[in-house]
A and B are shown apart, each in its own frame.
Chain A
């Protein structure tokens, strides 16, 4: 069951590579209010970078399209991130999620989904050929004991 949403952001940008850095930095700024450790924040930035890069490189290979990024802070200190495109879609999700599999040539390593899986608690990928892909990632931020005043 989905936890109650306490706060969220939603943005949309053009699938230009220059927006990858913007997207991960904006997400990290939003997640900072959850008081994450530096490692947690870096994991989130890395996972977002992978998901957004996939949308930019694979969803719209020879054109520009819209990428939407939504992040919600849910009850239980859980961050949920959704990256959605309306691009060409993934014909075989299981294959695409395998390590070292890529259709992006030698510029890509095929490790994007592996990194997302490794750095987040849960990863869901939905896709339809010709209609686009939605990646949902969830990560619980461990609560830290605050020093006594």
Chain B
């Protein structure tokens, strides 16, 4: 799992590449939280375009991101979600909790 980050004016974009399973998500959550703590974003954009597989571990990552950013008074947007990951998000009803584009 690789994460590429870009931060400008309290907008943080994190692009994920690889498998967001239990192992991948554990590592990704750690890196994501470090990036959030450094940028203190008002808007966090999670770009999933490079995610080749995702299970419910990816949902834990999203919920964690949302909790953290909400505490900063910000919001989370998920974008470029591949079909397999989108089916997981839809099955879990994550679209009701976090904005997906």
| Docked pose: A64 CA to B91 CA in angstroms | 31
Chain B residues near A68 (CB-CB < 8 A): none
A74 close to chain B: CB less than 8 A: no
A83 close to chain B: CB less than 8 A: no
B72 close to chain A: CB less than 8 A: no
Question: Closest B-chain residue to A41, C-beta based?
Answer: B84
B58 to chain A, nearest CB (A): 8
Q: Chain A interface: which size bin?
A: 20 to 34
Interface contact tally, CB-CB below 8 A = 73
Question: Closest A-chain residue to B64, C-beta based?
Answer: A106
Interface 9-residue window, one of B7-15, B20-28, B41-49, B73-81: B20-28
Q: Which residues of A contact B (CB under 8 A)?
A: 17-18, 20-21, 24, 39, 42-43, 45-46, 49-50, 53, 56-57, 99, 106-112, 114-115, 118-119
Q: Which residues of B contact A (CB under 8 A)?
A: 19, 21-23, 25-26, 29, 53-57, 59-60, 63-64, 83-84, 87-88, 91-93
The 10 nearest A-B residue pairs measured at CB? A118-B91, A109-B59, A109-B60, A111-B56, A49-B55, A42-B84, A111-B92, A53-B22, A17-B23, A109-B56
